[in-house]
């Protein structure tokens, strides 16, 4: 009876050393093809180089041809196997470097939840309740019920508040070489964005059914009413920084340049679904009212969240005022949770501090 292992060695030897063909030719050719598709940043020698080196080494070490052939075949087979395994560990199914891919796409994290907020992990699954610390990944749908909201924070420190009766999906989250790109699709409802744009190459867009709002500043609000026939379909209000507004159809911009650039205390209002966009100038009080109208989280909710009975009112230099709950302090800063989010206040800039009721 012939030795199966010896027969296998002969088949491998025939292919690798004598350029022959047999039943193992196809799988070995596939392995050789894989070896030629090297992952980024990793270099492997060509299998022929391995073969030549092995032949040279073995011919010079010994003239015992039978033993040398077995050693040679084992070396070649092991080399191909180990390299193929290495390729498997360093390669994603798409052929990209897995460590690089891990850096490119991340998730947003739930920072705060109030009321009923649901997350659809996929279209064919039942929704689950959003919880603090939960990761929200690409294409997962977030819905908020009446008098509910959720705060999301991104990898670069930017954050959004998703207001009540809102449907929102994260469409793009890319972080590469210190550049960031975030894109959100707002089907309906209200989103307040606080963007930490550090570089000119950073991008943050909120896309509605008809408008793209590209952030060039820090804090703004987008409101969407997608029902045709209503007076306003998309409304964008800027509290600080600037926002570039572009209309689109089926996610294709209708112009190469923004049709409006909104600065601080300015608003863009779309007259009807896909209609003309009008710019409106508002004072700081008017912008504050716009943000307050969308704010379902009240001072009473804030006190309840922190188990307090009174709010703190901090007055700073320049008559700047913060109302909320002081959640902590250190040698240099006070940390206060307000209706507009959490703020860090320099102690030496506080002129006065007093308490007041939530009403």
Q: Which of 8-12, 61-65, 168-172, 286-290 has the highest average model confidence (pLDDT)?
A: 168-172
Is the whole-model pTM more than 0.85? no
Q: Which of 241, 274, 293 lies at the terminal end of a domain, its last residue?
A: 293
Q: For residue 25, what pLDDT band results from cuts at 50, 70 and 90?
A: confident
Query: What is the full DSSP assignment across 52-105?
Result: HHHHHHHHHH---HHHHHHHHHHHHHHHHHHHHHHHHHHB-TTSSBHHHHHHHB
Task: Output 256 or 202, whichever has higher pLDDT.
Answer: 202
Q: Verify that 116 and 63 share a domain, yes or no.
A: no
Q: Verify that 114 and 80 share a domain, yes or no.
A: no
What residues does 269 pair with on adjacent strands? Answer: 235, 278
pLDDT greater than 70 at residue 59: no
The mean-pLDDT minimum among 78-87, 189-198, 328-337 falls in 78-87
Q: Which helix (H) or strand (E) holds 215?
A: strand 211-215
Q: Verify that 150 and 281 share a domain, yes or no.
A: yes
Which tokens sit at 148? Answer: 């509910």
Q: Verify that 122 and 250 share a domain, yes or no.
A: yes
The mean-pLDDT minimum among 23-32, 168-177, 257-266 falls in 23-32
Q: Which of 81, 99, 117 lies at the terminal end of a domain, its last residue?
A: 99
Mean of pLDDT values over 103-114: 74
Residue 346: φ, ψ to 5°: -70, 130
pLDDT of amino acid 123: 80
Q: Verify that 59 and 169 share a domain, yes or no.
A: no
pLDDT tens digit string along 340-359? 667 889 999 999 999 988 76
Cα 195 to Cα 102: distance, rounded to the nearest angstrom: 23
Q: Verify that 124 and 263 share a domain, yes or no.
A: yes
Q: For residue 263, what pLDDT band results from cuts at 50, 70 and 90?
A: confident
Q: Verify that 149 and 241 share a domain, yes or no.
A: yes
For residue 81, the enclosing domain spans 4-99
Which tokens sit at 356? Answer: 């007041």
Q: Verify that 141 and 81 share a domain, yes or no.
A: no
Q: Verify that 50 and 67 share a domain, yes or no.
A: yes
Q: Verify that 327 and 342 share a domain, yes or no.
A: yes
Of the candidates 173, 206, 198, 171, the one whose C-alpha atom is nearest the C-alpha of residue 104 is 173
Which tokens sit at 336? Answer: 């206060």
pLDDT greater than 60 at residue 337: yes
Cα Rg, the chain, nearest whole Å? 31
Q: Verify that 80 and 117 share a domain, yes or no.
A: no
Cβ atoms of residues 222 and 193 within 8 Å:
yes
CATH number for position 213: 2.60.120.1440
Task: Output 235 or 169, whichever has higher pLDDT.
Answer: 169
Q: Which of 128-137, 232-241, 248-257, 266-275 has the highest average model confidence (pLDDT)?
A: 128-137
Q: Verify that 215 and 340 share a domain, yes or no.
A: no
Mean of pLDDT values over 32-59: 53
pLDDT greater than 60 at residue 153: yes
CATH number for position 334: 2.30.30.100
pLDDT greater than 90 at residue 311: yes
Domain count, the chain: 3
Of the candidates 207, 289, 220, the one whose C-alpha atom is nearest the C-alpha of residue 252 is 207
pLDDT of amino acid 119: 95
Cα 18 to Cα 31: distance, rounded to the nearest angstrom: 18
Q: Which of 293, 310, 338 lies at the terminal end of a domain, its last residue?
A: 293
CA angle (116, 196, 106) in 5-degree steps: 60
Name every residue whose Cβ is closer than 8 Å to that of residue 124 and which is 6 or more positions away in sequence.
none
Mean of pLDDT values over 300-323: 87
């Amino acid at each position: 009876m012939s030795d199966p292992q010896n027969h296998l060695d002969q088949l491998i030897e025939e292919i690798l050393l004598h350029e022959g063909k047999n039943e193992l030719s196809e799988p070995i050719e596939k392995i050789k093809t894989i070896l030629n598709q090297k992952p980024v940043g990793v270099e492997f020698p060509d299998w022929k180089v391995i073969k030549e080196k092995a032949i040279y080494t073995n011919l010079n070490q010994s003239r015992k041809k039978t033993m040398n052939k077995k050693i040679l075949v084992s070396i070649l087979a092991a080399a191909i196997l180990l390299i193929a395994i290495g390729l498997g560990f360093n390669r994603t199914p798409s052929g990209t470097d897995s460590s690089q891919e891990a850096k490119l796409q991340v998730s947003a994290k739930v920072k705060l939840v109030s009321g009923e907020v649901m997350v659809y992990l996929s279209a064919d699954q039942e929704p689950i309740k959003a919880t603090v610390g939960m990761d929200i990944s690409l294409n997962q749908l977030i819905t908020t019920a009446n008098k509910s909201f959720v705060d999301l924070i991104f990898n670069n420190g930017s954050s959004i508040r998703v207001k009540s009766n809102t449907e929102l999906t994260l469409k793009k989250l890319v972080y590469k070489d210190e550049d960031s790109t975030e894109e959100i699709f707002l089907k309906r409802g209200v989103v307040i964005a606080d963007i930490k744009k550090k570089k000119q190459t950073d991008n943050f867009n909120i896309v509605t059914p008809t408008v793209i709002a590209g952030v060039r500043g820090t804090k703004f609000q987008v409101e969407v009413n997608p029902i045709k026939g209503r007076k306003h379909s998309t409304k964008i209000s800027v509290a600080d920084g600037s926002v570039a507004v572009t209309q689109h159809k089926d996610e294709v911009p209708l112009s190469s340049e923004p049709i409006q650039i909104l600065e601080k205390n300015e608003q863009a209002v779309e007259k009807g679904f896909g209609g003309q966009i009008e710019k409106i100038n508002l004072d700081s009080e008017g912008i504050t009212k716009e943000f307050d109208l969308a704010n379902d989280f009240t001072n009473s909710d804030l006190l309840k969240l922190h188990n307090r009975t009174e709010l703190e009112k901090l007055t700073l230099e320049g008559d700047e005022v913060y109302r909320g709950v002081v959640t902590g302090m250190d040698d240099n800063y006070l940390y206060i949770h307000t209706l507009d989010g959490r703020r860090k206040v320099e102690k030496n800039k506080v002129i006065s501090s007093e308490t007041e009721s939530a009403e």
